[in-house]
Structure 1
Amino acid sequence: MNEQQQCSTESPYLFSYLPGELIPAILVRLPVRSLLRFKSVCKSWHSLISDPKFGKSHYDLAAAPTHRCLTKGNESEIESIDVDAASLHNSESCVVNLKLPLPPPRMEYRSYGLDPFIDVEFVGSCRGFVLVAYPLGDVFVWNPSTGEQRRIADDHDGMIDMCSIGFGYDRSTDDYLLVLMQVIHLNFYDTYPDQVANDHTIIRIFSMKTNSWFDQEGTYAQYVDMGCAYLKIAAFLNDALHWLVTSYETKLHVIIAFHLVQRNLSEIPLPQVLVTRLENNFLYYLRVIGECLSLCYPGNTDSTAEIWMMKDYKVQTSWTKLFIFSTCNIPRDVIHPICFTKHGELFCSYGSGGLMIVDDKGWQLLDESTKWPEPHMMFGEERECILPCGLYRESLLSLPNDFQQANENDQLMISLVETNEDDK
């Protein structure tokens, strides 16, 4: 009995009348969570859905991609929330509990009073993968949908804790890259300005395909960080990672973009009206919202939160103030925009990680169980809280080389179409 006959025999009412060539065309347009369940229907479906080629086709052709937000759950679990379902019903069906990839036990965590689970940070996402970072430099690339994970090789010389960090995809090589950018530290710049005159920006890259680090040559521009942990996390858009920094040469705040395909740095000007505000330490940070590069200000007791969106990429005049919101009644008086839902609402975190929805009717808090722990003391000081929510798109994509060795050893991962043709 071939695989197609076996599949039809196991579930006759579903598949008896479906031509074999239609099954992949139907499955490739279904949600990820449904496909993960369908892997247990029969061997042919398991092989098809597990095939990396199917995962890429599904990512490109998915009729309605699902975006989810990671936030604190209970004990050692993370909650993954469907941002669109949460905005409508706030029902338990939109929340999935996941197990985080945890770092190996270290005495240093206990010595420094750290809890790896509480101190975890989601510092980037791309094509369904999330970059998970721990405070002592343990870093994982993780697909929350499939559970696939890979620990970044730890020969980075401790740079992760001291650098701006970004995670993105190089489509020219089908590779996922972790980028560390070491700029001039603000405190060192303020204290010893003459000693940094010859320093230049250092960029180091980790390739998931080769599982190795390499230095990017030819980067001589000088930039100074802005002294805020929010700004060390890059925004990935249009094949480039973006950070908000200060130009050492002009002394002006600027967005720099590191293009992952061309491997070069360029500058993107800020809206002119914000230059003065940034000089007065108004801490805007970068996000990608609505497929546009956006500057977000979280607000405080004396001002409102706002979002500036660059509607035409790299066109300074296209910066538009899109959103203004009073935070005077919000816990801790700050909100961090995460994304727009498909219903046009703004999905945000507030305070230290609670979730809320903002629309033209006002705002509402979501399930309080998603509340992230308050910032706590580390090394005698309150630890600055990185945005504790990780937004990602569900996908079946696999990391480079994950299946290549298995495919060389056997031919289990073949598509259903190929199987049907062999049967004929």
Structure 2
Amino acid sequence: MSSIHFPFEILYNILGRLPVKEIIRFRCVCKAWRVLVVDPNFISTHLNLQTDDSDRCLLQYKAGRHGGGKDFFVAFNARNFAEHLNLEVPFSCETNYFKMVGSVNGLLCLSLSFTLFGRTLYLWNPSIWKLKILSGSCFRRQIEKWQTDFAVGFGFHHRTNDYKIVRIMYFTEIGELYVEREPPRVEIFSLARNSWRKVGTNSGSYARDKCSTVVVNGCVHWFAYRTKDASGKFILAFDFDSEEFGEITLPKYHHNGDSQFHGHRPEAFVAVLRESLALIASFYKNRLICYNIWVMREYGMAESWTKQYSIVPKERIFRCLGIVNNRDLMLNAGGEKGVISYDLDKQEYNKPLVFDEDLDELVTFHESLVLYEEGFRLTPRKDLFVEGGIHLGKRKRSVFELLQQKWL
């Protein structure tokens, strides 16, 4: 069947609503369809037409130490949290342990873990078996005179239809935090340009969060401290459009009577709730960790911070895992309780979920065609989300291993 009988608008509307697996199959129909599927405009259209949340899932990262030496993701239905299947990570890294930077439009951004975090980044789209390794830098490798820490931000810039990663390099004395020994260096990677580029820095601050995909109003955000005053806290923002840093004043989120309890201090971290910047702040009540959720109703206006929710659990909570589905606050209760979710709309707890009690990472994922024309094409052994995963061919594996070792 030739596409000449179908206007492109109709093809966009039909093909753009199909699952990724089916679209890949339809590339074989004719040359015109093959060209259409890889067109950047079609890839964007496909993303925009995926309005049905039934295909969206949550991925729980499980490091190799829990899965017989292999890293994999467990997929859960985002609506009912029912367990799907397993997806094995088809590549490895020198630390043998990945840290999840974030998930955006079907792209998973992974990093080396521990002391090597941020040096090498991996963009992986498991839906189409494509992998891109970001092992370069605008800066030469820092001699280990000081400890080098990284903060990474990952997001999608709607105006330019581009995926960007901003990486901040901090130089501190070994064992010391927030003590700036040299101005931080900042670089940004653009997938559209396929390169790193130096940008201006924001000296005098230290992003506490290693990674962030909290993107609101075109900016990615971290919870940050002043380098000369660890008690001076604020939200550090980086604008993907202007490529400049900014600061957002925090609300007065401290709860009356906040104090250290059994060695634990109240914490706070940034999040996104219904496309608004949010702050999840913990406090103690009756020896239990509770949470207040503040929402910035008008972006950039400190006076618009509003405490919208106050959650007092009936049992002990070890840590908050963030917000999914724009309504579910995910809480790790540990032990036999595992992970529970609190429905912010209904203001009630759901039944305990089937997530493993030793939860490493939890991100939202949706299949996409992003990265189709980039990086390595990994060869699938079976369908997506099945035991066994995917692997590299011999020739590609040798090139892949060389790239993993490269650091400019």
The answer to which structure has the higher helix fraction is: 1
Partners of 1:399 and 1:291 in 2: CA distance? 27
2:98 counterpart letter in structure 1: V
Partners of 2:8 and 2:191 in 1: CA distance? 35
The CA deviation at 1:132 is 0.8
Partner of 2:203: 221
The CA deviation at 1:290 is 2.0
Partner of 1:24: 12
Partner of 2:79: 84
**Equivalent pair of 2:321/2:329 in contact (CA under 8 Å):** no
The CA deviation at 1:264 is 0.8
**Equivalent pair of 1:133/1:139 in contact (CA under 8 Å):** yes
State how 1:34-73 maps to structure 2 within 5 Å: 34-41=19-26, 43-44=29-30, 48-65=36-53, 66-72=55-61
Partners of 1:97 and 1:39 in 2: CA distance? 21
Q: Deviations over 1:48-79 (max 9, x none)?
A: 44443321111123333553221045553211
Q: Deviations over 1:23-67 (max 9, x none)?
A: 43223234xxx3423532552456544443321111123333553
Match of 1:288 among 247, 272, 280: 272
Corresponding residue pairs, total: 345
The CA deviation at 1:291 is 1.3
Q: Deviations over 1:178-221 (max 9, x none)?
A: 2112357596367xx6xx4x84343122333444333213x353
State how 1:146-225 maps to structure 2 within 5 Å: 146-155=128-137, 162-171=149-158, 173-183=160-170, 188=176, 196=180, 199-217=182-200, 219-225=201-207
Match of 2:224 among 245, 252, 273: 245
Distance 1:46 1:38, change over 3 A: same
Partner of 1:306: 292
Partners of 2:258 and 2:166 in 1: CA distance? 25
Distance 1:297 1:336, change over 3 A: farther
The CA deviation at 1:247 is 2.9
Distance 1:142 1:277, change over 3 A: farther
* SS of equivalent residue, structure 1 residue 24: helix
TM-score w.r.t. the length of structure 1 is 0.68
**Equivalent pair of 2:332/2:339 in contact (CA under 8 Å):** yes
Partner of 2:308: 322
Partner of 1:141: 123
Partner of 1:259: 239
**Equivalent pair of 1:239/1:260 in contact (CA under 8 Å):** yes
The CA deviation at 1:255 is 0.7
**Equivalent pair of 1:67/1:394 in contact (CA under 8 Å):** yes
**Equivalent pair of 1:38/1:46 in contact (CA under 8 Å):** no
Partners of 2:131 and 2:353 in 1: CA distance? 29
Does residue 3 in structure 1 map to residue 2 in structure 2? yes
* SS of equivalent residue, structure 1 residue 296: strand
Partners of 2:259 and 2:167 in 1: CA distance? 25
Partners of 1:355 and 1:188 in 2: CA distance? 34
* SS of equivalent residue, structure 2 residue 42: helix
1:3 counterpart letter in structure 2: S
* SS of equivalent residue, structure 1 residue 272: coil
Partner of 1:99: 88
**Equivalent pair of 1:169/1:176 in contact (CA under 8 Å):** yes
Distance 1:175 1:39, change over 3 A: closer
Structure 1, gaps ≥5 residues long: 9-17, 110-115, 374-386, 404-424
Partners of 1:161 and 1:278 in 2: CA distance? 33
Higher mean alpha-carbon deviation, 142-151 vs 19-28, is at: 19-28
Partner of 1:389: 362
**Equivalent pair of 1:71/1:372 in contact (CA under 8 Å):** no
2:321 counterpart letter in structure 1: H
Q: Deviations over 1:248-275 (max 9, x none)?
A: 4776211111111101111111112449
The CA deviation at 1:244 is 1.2
**Equivalent pair of 2:212/2:220 in contact (CA under 8 Å):** no
2:244 counterpart letter in structure 1: N
1:180 counterpart letter in structure 2: R
Partner of 1:414: none
Bigger radius of gyration among the two: 1
* SS of equivalent residue, structure 2 residue 17: coil
**Equivalent pair of 1:299/1:334 in contact (CA under 8 Å):** no
**Equivalent pair of 1:153/1:212 in contact (CA under 8 Å):** no
The CA deviation at 1:171 is 4.4
Partner of 1:378: none
Partners of 1:164 and 1:358 in 2: CA distance? 29
Partner of 1:413: none
Partners of 2:323 and 2:184 in 1: CA distance? 29
Partners of 2:256 and 2:194 in 1: CA distance? 43
TM-align CA RMSD: 3.8
Partners of 2:141 and 2:76 in 1: CA distance? 33
Distance 1:232 1:141, change over 3 A: closer
